[in-house]
Amino acid sequence: MHDIRLIRDQPHAFDAALARRGLPPEAEAILQLDEMRRASIADAERALAERNAASREVGSARARGDDGEFERLRALVAAKKDEIGRLEAEAATTDAALHEMLMGIPNLPYDDVPDGPDERANVELRRWGTPKGPKEFGFKPREHFDVAMFSSDASGMSGIIGAKLSGSRFTVLYGSIARLHRALAQFMLDTHVNEHGFKEVWTPVIVREDVLKGTGQLPKFSDDLYQLTDGSWLIPTAEVTLTNIVADEILDEAVLPLRYTAHTQCFRSEAGSAGKDVRGMLRQHQFEKVEMVSITRPEDSRAEHERMTACAQGILEALGLPYRTVVLSTGDMGFSVRRTHDLEVWLPGQGTYREIASISDCGDFQARRMNARFRRGEGARPEFVHTLNGSGLAVGRTLIAVIENGQEADGSISLPPVLGPYLGGRTRVDTDGRLA
């Protein structure tokens, strides 16, 4: 949501920021609606003052016995009452139209976000680790769904059973692979809580419509979500629930920053996706993610963004997974964000980096939609907080990266040592699918 006062004061700057996203100007249309709304409100206030004045004079006219003036004033009061109702209805209609327009306009990028139409304009910030290829492996590395034991319906993964139960892009995990998937989520949560200072939260995965509006998934992206028959929705990420914890709250400055983390199921229809990503677990309708959310003062959000990026990078480094960090261009950014860092993990089966986490600074955009504020001291005017969110990490994609980077020629998998405590001290999956 945008501050209408800023659009009034700097309409050209607002349109210039939209142009960086490849969008047409909106300030003129917004300000026309705003002027109509304000004019209706002002006219209603004038009509109310005139009605009140006439109401006061009605009694005096009757006391004087001035029947003509009495009838005129009484008719004026009735007419002004009707006029006020009409003007207030006009103001409400225009206000609703203005609100709907503002709700559909994406956030404005920070000045240092690279300009560009799509992911080709993203800028690499850093790399970590050495990507392995056929030379380092001593064989042509396979994609996760072609690793011998992982492709087994009995001991690894089955898209066939997933489709039987739920349709395409659903997967069933078995045995040691299911346990490895669970271990990764536990490791991520423990790291974020014990080392990164986040508070673990368990939240629902079914939410009301206004909750999704607060974080920006609705009304614009309903086709990407799953809606239940009672009108509620399945969450696409725990960003939705964690961020809305502070909706309609006025927080004390002393409690900021708030840092939350949660492990949840996530649901996305992703109707437009196609190609080989539908094979295996890379792109699923139902998946698990460990999410990070921070609520900060405005002046702290940029530093918090870097901190959250480092937290997600730390998970990949602990797992020994090579990755690169990129800042997304204006044409590749999400709807609610001002700046996003993507972490892309190396997948040797594909011979490329693939997104495994996005960490975003939303400024006060979501806070305005949720009416989430804080107060710097007693008697101070409430201000909007800044909200940030990030994957820490996507569990299924991390599983894919662990399998592909740890695969051996015989189809077994060497696992990162940090997962040993979560797997009974075992750090290998043998070709028969057993942990060893």
Catalytic (active site) residue 179: no
CA dihedral (176, 177, 180, 185) positive or negative: negative
> Of these residues, 20, 51, 169, 268, which one is catalytic?
268
Tell me whether residue 355 is one of the annotated catalytic residues.
yes
Yes or no: say if 403 and 150 are a contact pair by the CB < 8 Å rule.
Answer: yes
Annotated active-site residue in 50, 317, 355, 408: 355
From 37, 302, 369, 397, the catalytic residue? 397
**Which residues make Cβ contacts (< 8 Å) with residue 160, sequence separation at least 6?**
153
Instruction: State the Cα–Cα distance between residues 226 and 136, nearest whole angstrom.
Output: 43
List helix spans (H) across 138-236: 159-166, 175-194, 209-215
Catalytic option among 358, 360, 391, 412: 358
395 Cβ neighbours under 8 A, 6+ residues apart: 181, 184, 185, 188, 263, 287, 288, 289, 290
Q: For tokens 């901190």, name the residue.
A: 307
Question: Please, are residues 422 and 303 in contact by the beta-carbon 8 Å criterion?
Answer: no
Cβ neighbours of residue 147 under 8 Å, at least 6 residues apart?
Answer: 156, 403, 404, 407, 411, 413
The reply to whether 283 belongs to the active site is yes
Residue 301 designated active-site: no
| Residue 208 is among the residues annotated as catalytic for this protein | no
CA quadruple 155, 157, 161, 165: dihedral positive or negative?
A: positive
Catalytic residue among 21, 37, 283, 302: 283
CA gap 33, 187 in Å, rounded: 51
Active site residues: 268, 283, 355, 358, 397
